Amino acid sequence: MSSSNKKMIFGWYMYDWANSAFATTVMAAVLPIYYSQVAGAKLEGNLASAYWGYTNTIALLISACLAPILGAIADFSGLKKRLLLSFAALGIFFTALLYFIKNGDWLFASLLFILSSVGFSGADLFYNSLLPHIASPDEIDQISTKGYALGYLGGGILLAINVAMIELIGGEFAARLCFLSVAAWWTVFTIPLLLNVKEPATFHQTDSTINPVIAGFRQLKKTFNDLKQYRQLLLFLTAFWIYNDGIGTIIKMATIYGAEVGISRTDLIGALLLTQFVGIPFAIGFGHLAKLVGTKSSIYIGLAIYTLISIAGYFLSTALHFWILAFMVGTVQGGTQALSRSLFGSMSPKAKTAEFFGFYGMSSKFAGIVGPLLFAIVGQITGSSRLSIVALVIFFVLGGIILSLVDEEEGIRVARVADAAVRL
């Protein structure tokens, strides 16, 4: 591997390190608790949990609708990297504004979270679409899992710093400082990608007189028609749509569910910090496991453990229970998602990586809509979120069944044939 390619891979890795700060501190740890105890302090009963579920649903819906359109525009115009940086800047800006949320500002908090999430998700789409361009086919699983591992490490380090800030400073001000730290971290560690990752060459003939947005919509329509020849890819997307719904719901709703049960803020954030650091070796381990038993079989193992987590979550009542479940999540979260990303990338033709990862992003976002929405509705109807947690089992079981129907070798073969045809 040349030194320039090593720098490019390092730059790609570091963006996972950068944006994972948002995923850990804002999405999973500090903001859900702050939303429940401060922004939603004037709401009655478990309405804060319900409104947080609706907030996540809206953010995911917007991101899902934008994803395939943005992907088509990026592939046509050859602007994957530039669009990544633009959406990252959007996410960073609105994350910084979270600093101004105070007691009772649940609606303002929801609005800022939705906007920052759209920036995060849009940038993540383009980040993922770069993977097939920087990784060779025999390294894609390992590079993808190492990216997740570094993301866990980066997000975990900042979360540890933020936990220390909350313990030392205390009060609402400490939490608000955490939001500023995420914006700064995200900005600084995006710089290696900015400097070292090259814009992939476009396989489409571009015309400077054509508006890239209009051309992107035209390309999107063509992609819908072209997808028919990628049957295995579509089948995998269906499986991913279903099982990732369960994964996404656990990530987004675990902390606010724990707060509802009565677990202290220190235990909630500490357990999530444990998830981050447990995830580092296990994410890398899943990359090696894929070499031994195959990518699909490794994903099955992850889904089986998630099924056990969902069942156990119904009986959650103490801080110790939450710590144990957090450890279990850490063993499978990164590996399952990283291998899903690399399997999808392996079956995607390079000429359409942003387009297809746009659909991948749409699939993952629409997947995340059903879970939080179900969580919110069931919780609001029953007055408790326990039944919402155990209902997630169906996502992992059904997703695993559909995944078993995917012929990954055929999917990879079709993608390589498409690549060869473009080069000719």
| DSSP, residue by residue, 362-416 | HHHHHHHHHHHHHHHHHHHHHS-SHHHHHTTHHHHHHHHHHHTT--HHHHHHHHH
> What pLDDT, in 10s, does the model give residues 110-140?
999 999 999 999 999 889 888 888 887 778 8
For residues 130 and 366, the model is more confident at 130
Residue with tokens 């390190």: 17
Query: Mean of the per-residue pLDDT values for the chain?
Result: 84
> What pLDDT, in 10s, does the model give residues 261-273?
788 878 888 888 8
**Would the pLDDT of 68 be above 60?**
yes
pLDDT for 110 equals 96
Share of the chain above pLDDT 70, in %: 87
Most confidently modeled range among 53-67, 100-114, 161-175: 100-114
pLDDT for 92 equals 98
Predicted confidence band at 358 (pLDDT cuts at 50, 70, 90)?
A: confident
Among 113-122, 196-205, 283-292, the range scoring the smallest mean pLDDT is: 196-205
Cα–Cα distance between 46 and 153 in angstroms, integer? 33
pLDDT for 136 equals 79
Share of the chain above pLDDT 90, in %: 35
Predicted confidence band at 209 (pLDDT cuts at 50, 70, 90)?
A: low
**Would the pLDDT of 211 be above 70?**
no
Predicted confidence band at 405 (pLDDT cuts at 50, 70, 90)?
A: very high
Which pair of structure tokens corresponds to residue 305? 């453990």
**Would the pLDDT of 381 be above 90?**
no
Predicted confidence band at 339 (pLDDT cuts at 50, 70, 90)?
A: very high
pLDDT for 201 equals 67
How many other CB atoms sit within 10 Å of the CB of residue 44?
7
For residues 184 and 122, the model is more confident at 184
pLDDT for 152 equals 86
- Domain borders along the chain are 3-196+227-423
Assign domain 3-196+227-423 to its CATH architecture: Up-down Bundle (1.20)
pLDDT for 277 equals 87
pLDDT for 366 equals 64
Among 54-58, 295-299, 376-380, the range scoring the smallest mean pLDDT is: 376-380
Cα–Cα distance between 147 and 169 in angstroms, integer? 33
- Tell me which residue of 155, 149, 147, 153 sits closest to 185, measured CA to CA: 155
Alpha helices of 170-211 — where are they, by DSSP H?
171-188, 191-196
| CB within 8 Å of 187: residues ≥ 6 apart | 18, 92
Contact indicator for 258, 322 with CB cutoff of 8 Å: yes
**Would the pLDDT of 222 be above 80?**
no
For residues 94 and 321, the model is more confident at 94
Among 8-17, 18-27, 172-181, 208-217, the range scoring the smallest mean pLDDT is: 208-217
For residues 213 and 327, the model is more confident at 327
Long-range pairs of 107-112 with CB within 8 A, sequence gap ≥ 24: 108/39, 109/31, 109/34, 109/35, 109/39, 109/40, 109/55, 110/51, 110/54, 110/55, 110/58
Contact indicator for 298, 339 with CB cutoff of 8 Å: yes
Predicted confidence band at 214 (pLDDT cuts at 50, 70, 90)?
A: low
**Would the pLDDT of 71 be above 90?**
no
How many other CB atoms sit within 10 Å of the CB of residue 205?
6
pLDDT for 188 equals 97
Mean pLDDT value across residues 209-225: 62
Query: For the whole model, what pTM was predicted?
Result: 0.74
**Would the pLDDT of 420 be above 80?**
no
**Would the pLDDT of 210 be above 60?**
no
pLDDT for 113 equals 97
pLDDT for 1 equals 53
Among 167-171, 204-208, 222-226, 250-254, the range scoring the smallest mean pLDDT is: 204-208
> What pLDDT, in 10s, does the model give residues 154-168?
998 999 999 899 889
pLDDT for 377 equals 76
Mean pLDDT value across residues 198-224: 62
Cα 201–Cα 139–Cα 229 angle in degrees, nearest 5: 60
